[in-house]
Structure 1
């Protein structure tokens, strides 16, 4: 099963975890979309600066702090992902409640660890 993933908070900086996550997802054969503040390409994945109406998303993996997530709650919910991963530093109980109300599964986890341990 292809777990098409949106990296939310994608970065062109190779020192950022979002950048590393794009690379690791691609290496694992997962279809990747990317949304961030700056256009560019990472591992053949084009980073979009506008949140597109992505379809068939399995996972949205967050690399945006809770304060900056607030403006995207409705947009993320409207994408109807099967799962939202809150990577370290992005944990957000307020958003957890919203996701629960929309029957969207979420977990506070690390995408890189999940991939490395075959739990993604």
Structure 2
């Protein structure tokens, strides 16, 4: 406490002096002011869409929570089973509604136990 007390007192005394100083720049430059006005205009244009999106999010919130509660454990099981996603093609939705994830044809199901090429031999 004894070490921090002088530091706290110095900060307390320096605060009014720092607040009393005027900033070096009198205001925003023309480019900064133009960028600020541009952003304000975009926000005014987007405000109705943002409010509509907020309403949609409020409506869909309970359904998304229920989906996460039901599908969360199954998705975690799927993630544990699949080690490398790069060996699979993107998911496909079949006409009957089933979703399949096919393995890419250039990746074997299991690595071969024996080498596919014969080992090099030394001629005597």
Query: Taking structure 1 as the reference length, what is the TM-score of the superposition?
Result: 0.14
> Hey, which of these two has a bigger chunk of helix by percent?
2
> Hey, which of these two has a bigger chunk of strand by percent?
1
Query: Taking structure 2 as the reference length, what is the TM-score of the superposition?
Result: 0.13
